[in-house]
Amino acid sequence: MPNYSAILFDLDGTLADTAPDLAYALNTILQQEGYSTLNYETIRPVASNGSAGLLGLGFNITPEHTDYAELQRRLIEVYENNIARETRLFSGMSEVLEQLEQQNIAWGIVTNKPAFLTEPLSEKLGLIGRAGCIVSGDTTDHSKPHPAPMIHACELLSCLPEQCVYIGDAQRDIEAGKNANMHTITARYGYISVHDDPTSWQADAIVDHPSEILKWI
């Protein structure tokens, strides 16, 4: 891989380990509804899939279900109130960001998480003011795998897409990067289901720990 002008990260499951707080929110709602809670290992693989994935797992419902909207509202409320209860950057990620900054390589975040959750979480993680851009799921008219948020991030960083690499832990992340003509890296340490086959996503590289990112820059 060539050297890059910018590195872009997915948030949940790539930059930050948000699954513990998402699991807490889901189990809180399950308890309130009289359901048995789920173990963390069961919830973790769907943590990148938002409220639809969590409610589908916990209640076996889709957004078309009559109870979905109310359960979603309550789930998001619990999560918002506990957004950094246990969430931390993945082990080794702080060193990656420090190295990028020392080399004057711009970095940013492109996530499908809505801004009202992305921004307070980024602030609590100390990323505001460090990230060159933070593009949320509702920043542009489209979300990943559409290239619009990726292109917008490049505009904010004043770089060309082909000069960027996008790192994510879901197939939609790799598709979004490719759709925007970026290089891509799969974060296999993230929230990947046993049913997923990351090798089939055809990213330019696969890493099993954040520290491995450094060898590509």
Which has more confidence, 50 or 2? 50
pLDDT of residue 217: 76
> Which helix H or strand E contains 95, and what residues bound it?
helix 93-102
pLDDT at 131 over 90: yes
pLDDT of residue 2: 53
Whole-angstrom CA distances from 14 to 19, 112, 126, 207, 209 are 11, 13, 16, 11, 10
Which residues have a catalytic role annotated?
10, 12
What proportion of the chain, given as a percentage, has pLDDT over 70?
Answer: 99
Confidence bin at 1 (pLDDT 50/70/90): very low
Domain covering 6-17+89-216: architecture: 3-Layer(aba) Sandwich (3.40)
Q: Say what the pLDDT of residue 3 is.
A: 77
Per-residue confidence (pLDDT) for residue 181, from 0 to 100: 98
* C-alpha distances out from residue 70 to 19, 66, 67, 128, Å: 22, 9, 6, 31
Whether residue 41 has pLDDT greater than 90: yes
- The secondary element (H helix, E strand) that includes residue 207 is strand 205-207
The answer to whether residue 216 scores a pLDDT higher than 90 is no
What are the tens digits of pLDDT across the range 132-157? Answer: 999 999 999 999 999 999 999 999 99
pLDDT in tens, 158-198: 999 999 999 999 999 999 999 999 999 999 999 999 999 99
* Tokens read off for 104: 């004057």
pLDDT value for 212: 96
